[in-house]
Chains A and B, each alone.
Chain A
């Protein structure tokens, strides 16, 4: 591309000079914010309390956080790098999310700080309107980026926690338990969506293999409602288990579910169903050749 060997950046002299003056203005701005640190910080904390933000925290905590946010804020303005601020925002979010701080509060306090600082700049430069304009030109984009960084950091942290919890719930919600040699039970509780049904089946198939299970009892007492999709998933689970050589017994179909399934015409004739979990386990034991007898019963002599 650069065939002529001429610097294509040549006409950028003007913007460069402009960015230099922006840098100078930012330096001046930062010096001002450093000078008035105590006063501005207090003003900000006061405004936060007055706006009834961060109600989950005590005043001392708000002041302490306000101080460190303020310092990080000024530093981000000065250096133009946001990594430190990002890390701080993540760290802050990690601490305050468990205490019930909401997104609007975090966005609110950052915007408040922006407002407090802007007012202070108005106060300082109100006599030199032209300079005020230039200062604001330098300040606004940087301040917006800072506000953006903090808010995004908070939301990201929140989403990360939600994802983590969702995963934990999903893991918890499908325990495959071995009750006897070669007999597994899979109690399903809650709502079955396609994703969960898929995960459930995969987990069950893996468990059948590792435990060398011969019979599986799937208990759906805890499933409130079932539609044709869920029923089809269940049929698929039963079929896939059979391919691995395991017999599946489904237990705990509630009267409502039984009525729905027959009404919407789902064919469950391929499926072995038993009324409740106890019956299912008894049937499974029979299939496996177990017989449970009470201890005190005298053993008949052969």
Chain B
């Protein structure tokens, strides 16, 4: 099943609604990476609230999305990982290293806004303030 990708200002939001097959995940990755350029997005949010399992392929795809989107100029945040899923992931050693995470969509948007401001501050030579959860 196809994952809807919404454009919201400078950000793209992909909200996964049900369990995905490997092919669906690959399709999502391709669609997202393509649209980052098309819409000149500065941020990508992948909402996984509806997922109650995440296997290694899903985790790898999410990580790939984040790294690829960064190469295309957009920061990625994974939001809505369930506590049980998080626990299972660390037990399996799937930890999304180098990918930003946030509690839910609202937090993800706030995080991207802050990132954008910090980038602006850096460009203008001002100091920055911490508060991200980049691993």
Contact of A240 among B89, B102, B103, B111 (CB under 8 A): B89
Interface residue B124 (Cβ < 8 Å from any Cβ of A):
no
User: Which residues does chain B contribute within 8 Å of A286, judged by CB atoms?
Assistant: 130
Q: Mark B115-135, 1 if CB is under 8 A from A, else 0.
A: 000000000000001110101
B83 near A242 (CB under 8 angstroms)?
A: no
Interface residue B5 (Cβ < 8 Å from any Cβ of A):
no
Return the chain A residue nearest B95 by Cβ: A239
A245 near B131 (CB under 8 angstroms)?
A: no
Number of interface residues of B (CB under 8 A): 24
> From residue B73, how far is it (CB to closest CB) to chain A in Å?
23
B103 near A202 (CB under 8 angstroms)?
A: no
A239-B83 contact, Cβ under 8 Å, with A245-B107, A247-B133: no
Interface residue B57 (Cβ < 8 Å from any Cβ of A):
no
Which residues of B approach A to under 8 Å, CB–CB? 78-79, 81, 83-87, 89-91, 95-96, 101-103, 107-108, 111, 129-131, 133, 135
Nearest 9 pairs between A and B by C-beta?
A205-B83, A245-B102, A243-B86, A240-B86, A245-B103, A236-B90, A240-B90, A239-B90, A243-B81
Which residues of A approach B to under 8 Å, CB–CB? 201-202, 205-206, 208-209, 212, 214, 236-237, 239-247, 270, 286-289
New A-B pairs, 11, CB < 8 Å, besides A246-B103, A288-B131: A236-B90, A237-B90, A239-B135, A240-B83, A240-B90, A244-B83, A245-B102, A245-B103, A245-B107, A247-B131, A289-B131
